[in-house]
Structure 1
Amino acid sequence: MALFVPAESGPAAQVRTWHRTVGGAESNVACHLAGLGLRAAWVSVVGGDPFGSAITDFVARHGVDVSGVRVDPDRPTGVYFKSDGGVRYYRRGSAAAGMSPALLAGLPLDTVRLVHTSGITPVLSASCLDLMRALLGTPRRFLLSFDVNRRPALDQDPVLLRDLAALADVVLVGADEAAAVWGAHDPEAIREVLPEPPAIVVKQAEHGATLLERGEPAIFQPALRVDVVEPIGAGDAFAAGYLAALLAGEPPVRRLRAGHLRAASALRTRDDIGPPLPAALVESLLDAGAAEWAVVYIT
């Protein structure tokens, strides 16, 4: 989606100048994965308007393959605004809401290692729900990750989100999201709601994240202390860091730390995708002792 953030300070009603950039859960993850050195592709539908071409160009400039992006000449590209600490979306009837199972035709799904999805897509329209059911319900050779991505402005049915998440290999969910959607307030309660997925990553905001893998004890890794500029987008960055480490065969603690380190890069900017932390710093912190990790402060 096209994303607008204030280019000047003050209440949103008084802002006259806005900065246009790009945001969106799945495209954010794709851009972060490409930034981490993986081959990543983004598949979606944009409108045949300047916003649509700007979004596609933006994602491509981050090193993401956009050959699977379709253009709908009749529907507009969705937009949203960040201001006053909140977000307002304008995407009803957008090009992305017109996605359907036809989008899967011709995609080289037998050649990819992982497909990332979210709980936003299935509630955009009936055809989007059909798309998600087709993707999640068919036999696959790839890993499928599902980020719940609760959006209060969307009518996300708790039963539907649970049923879709149950079909994934890796589920990412915020503790606050799970509490609001399922009434599950801690990782153990979330596992009771979702016994099916082999792995669940519970994001616990500034406290840290817990990994629940089937047959293994829960593993918690505290978050880094960060000077936060804007929290929106950090969850997508965390997902990308964790998934990249998973594909690299990293052990659980390094996976969770990779997520925290990537999230820190997003927390330091008003955009959904910020400059990465220095590679040498990231590498040193991935293997830091617990005491050293606990005192790190990212400014």
Structure 2
Amino acid sequence: MEAYDGCGTPSGRCAVKALPPGPVVCIGETMAALVPEPVGALAAAGLLRLTVAGAESNAAMYLAEHGVPVRWVSAVGADPFGQRILAEVAACGVDVTGVRTDPDRPTGLLVKDPAPGGTRVHYYRRASAASALGPEVLAGAAVRGAGLLHLTGITPALSASCRALVEEALTGPLPVSFDVNFRPALWPDGSAPEVLGALADRADLVFVGLDEAQALWGARITAPADVRALLPGPALLVVKDGALAATAFDGRAVHTEPALPTEVVEPVGAGDAFAAGFLAGLHRGEPVGRALRLAHVTAGAALRASGDHGPLPAPAEIAALLDAPAASR
């Protein structure tokens, strides 16, 4: 990533000062999603609401709502689900001209099954349009002029060509933001710890939850500093600790910001919103600590919604939350 300020990571990379100029380009699959309405167990649901769900397009929508120029690059099927996805993502202000409509493969589908202990997700995405994405998308017009590529650990699990896309992006000239986004159901062969660890360590900016780091890399991970020891490569590493706090390792500096108290309706999508809020803060030129606060504010919007995407607070409320002392937030 460009715009460095001092060098202090174990890898020798420099601390991040701000995002480079140019739009953020988010690359990855988005599916049609069926969600029980009202929120409850799928087996007892009388109605299912149709919405859209995709880590990268979630992040893109929140980035657009924060005023950040953003493009989403993907593929959908030539079907009503694909049309719905394109319309909803574009309605948030995201440039979707880099999304290909595949005449032969369908749009992926997921169904959510909320429960008190967490939401289970049933995927119907095998041989989907987006699973055919490959490194060629990096040469497309939608990627030219990008300031940053935003990718997640979902994409390399979808197919060999999708993994090749991520590998090539990490060796290319553009800085890469990588959200580990571990989804166990997508890694039945058990290769996720090795694959996601190697990919994350090559990215410029990484987001990972402490709980998913523990699930991936075991009991040796007990604190954010343990994740940093495991991933020394990124210039900026952000470790999220659920409803407690988030910690950013920025060169030699370490920043920790407590999470905001939030009533949780449904947690899926909050990590994507967090990443978008943090990137939006860096895009504004905010210090890392305030970027973490904006990430918490944005994640709260997703937590309060039954779908993956919820409305942001009014700008005046966001500004007040960013300026408030930690004890009063």
For normalisation by structure 2, the TM-score amounts to 0.85
CA distance in structure 2 between the aligned counterparts of 1:275 and 1:14, rounded to whole angstroms:
27
1:169 aligned onto 2:204: yes
* Cα RMSD for the two superposed structures: 1.3
2:62 aligns with 32
CA distance in structure 1 between the aligned counterparts of 2:266 and 2:322, rounded to whole angstroms:
24
User: CA 1:215–1:110 in structure 2 vs 1: closer, same or farther (change >3 Å)?
Assistant: farther
1:265 aligns with 301
Match among 118, 127, 146 for residue 93 of structure 1: 127
Letter in 1 for 2:311: P
Letter in 1 for 2:49: H
Letter in 2 for 1:115: L
CA distance in structure 2 between the aligned counterparts of 1:23 and 1:197, rounded to whole angstroms:
27
CA distance in structure 2 between the aligned counterparts of 1:266 and 1:154, rounded to whole angstroms:
23
Q: Indicate conservation of the 8 Å contact 1:233/1:266, yes or no.
A: yes
1:150 aligned onto 2:192: no
Name the SS for the 1:225 alignment partner.
Answer: coil
CA distance in structure 2 between the aligned counterparts of 1:10 and 1:233, rounded to whole angstroms:
17
Of 76-85 and 39-48, the range deviating more from structure 2:
76-85
CA distance in structure 2 between the aligned counterparts of 1:239 and 1:62, rounded to whole angstroms:
17
1:296 aligns with none
1:224 aligns with 260
Gaps of 5+ in 1: 294-299
**1:259-292 residue CA offsets vs partner (Å, 9 max, x unmatched):** 0000111111101111111211110111112222
CA distance in structure 2 between the aligned counterparts of 1:138 and 1:35, rounded to whole angstroms:
28
**1:230-257 residue CA offsets vs partner (Å, 9 max, x unmatched):** 1111111111000010121111210110
Of 127-136 and 78-87, the range deviating more from structure 2:
78-87
User: CA 1:282–1:8 in structure 2 vs 1: closer, same or farther (change >3 Å)?
Assistant: closer
1:284 aligns with 320
Match among 227, 231, 235 for residue 198 of structure 1: 235
Name the SS for the 2:71 alignment partner.
Answer: coil
Name the SS for the 2:243 alignment partner.
Answer: helix
1:23 aligned onto 2:42: no
Match among 213, 220, 241 for residue 250 of structure 2: 213
Q: Indicate conservation of the 8 Å contact 1:121/1:132, yes or no.
A: yes
1:53 aligns with 83
1:249 aligns with 285
CA distance in structure 2 between the aligned counterparts of 1:106 and 1:8, rounded to whole angstroms:
41
Q: Which has the higher contact order (CA 8 A, sep 6+)?
A: 2
Q: Indicate conservation of the 8 Å contact 2:75/2:133, yes or no.
A: yes
Of 109-118 and 145-154, the range deviating more from structure 2:
109-118
CA distance in structure 1 between the aligned counterparts of 2:142 and 2:55, rounded to whole angstroms:
22
Percent of pairs with identical residues: 50
Cα deviation for residue 110 of structure 1 reads 4.6
Cα deviation for residue 186 of structure 1 reads 1.4
Q: Indicate conservation of the 8 Å contact 1:178/1:185, yes or no.
A: no
Name the SS for the 1:201 alignment partner.
Answer: strand
Count residues in correspondence: 290
CA distance in structure 2 between the aligned counterparts of 1:149 and 1:64, rounded to whole angstroms:
22
User: CA 1:280–1:49 in structure 2 vs 1: closer, same or farther (change >3 Å)?
Assistant: same
CA distance in structure 1 between the aligned counterparts of 2:233 and 2:181, rounded to whole angstroms:
19
Cα deviation for residue 8 of structure 1 reads 4.3
Name the SS for the 1:115 alignment partner.
Answer: strand
Letter in 2 for 1:191: R
User: CA 1:138–1:73 in structure 2 vs 1: closer, same or farther (change >3 Å)?
Assistant: same
User: CA 1:102–1:215 in structure 2 vs 1: closer, same or farther (change >3 Å)?
Assistant: same
Q: Indicate conservation of the 8 Å contact 2:39/2:114, yes or no.
A: no
User: CA 1:260–1:11 in structure 2 vs 1: closer, same or farther (change >3 Å)?
Assistant: closer
